[in-house]
Amino acid sequence: MTAEATRRNSCRPWIKDVDHVRRRTGRAIWDAAEGLPDPLAAIEAARRLAEELLDRLARGVAAGEHLATGLARGDD
């Protein structure tokens, strides 16, 4: 992605919505696991990890703040 495209796309409104991020993450996990020998086990493990990470990230940002901002800060 070019610097211009990054600058243009970095403030998408869905980044503020944890539920939307969860849905997009779930779809990405499903797509990545389809080719594995045991895709359901891989999906379950990845979902648990993603859920934990999103919960920690959501607790660390202020109301209305972009989740990416909290991630960039590196706060725990």
The per-residue pLDDT string of the chain (76 residues; one tens digit each, 9 = 90 and over) reads 444 544 555 555 555 677 777 777 777 787 778 778 888 888 888 888 888 888 887 787 777 777 777 767 765 5
CA gap 10, 7 in Å, rounded? 6
Closest by CA to 49, choosing from 38, 41, 59, 61, is: 41
Using a cut of 0.85, tell me whether the model's pTM lies above it: no
- For 41, the token pair is 């086990």
Asked if residue 46 belongs to a domain, the reply is yes
Asked if residue 68 belongs to a domain, the reply is yes
Asked if residue 16 belongs to a domain, the reply is no
CA gap 8, 34 in Å, rounded? 31
Asked if residue 42 belongs to a domain, the reply is yes
Q: How many domains does the chain have?
A: 1
- For 22, the token pair is 């969860």
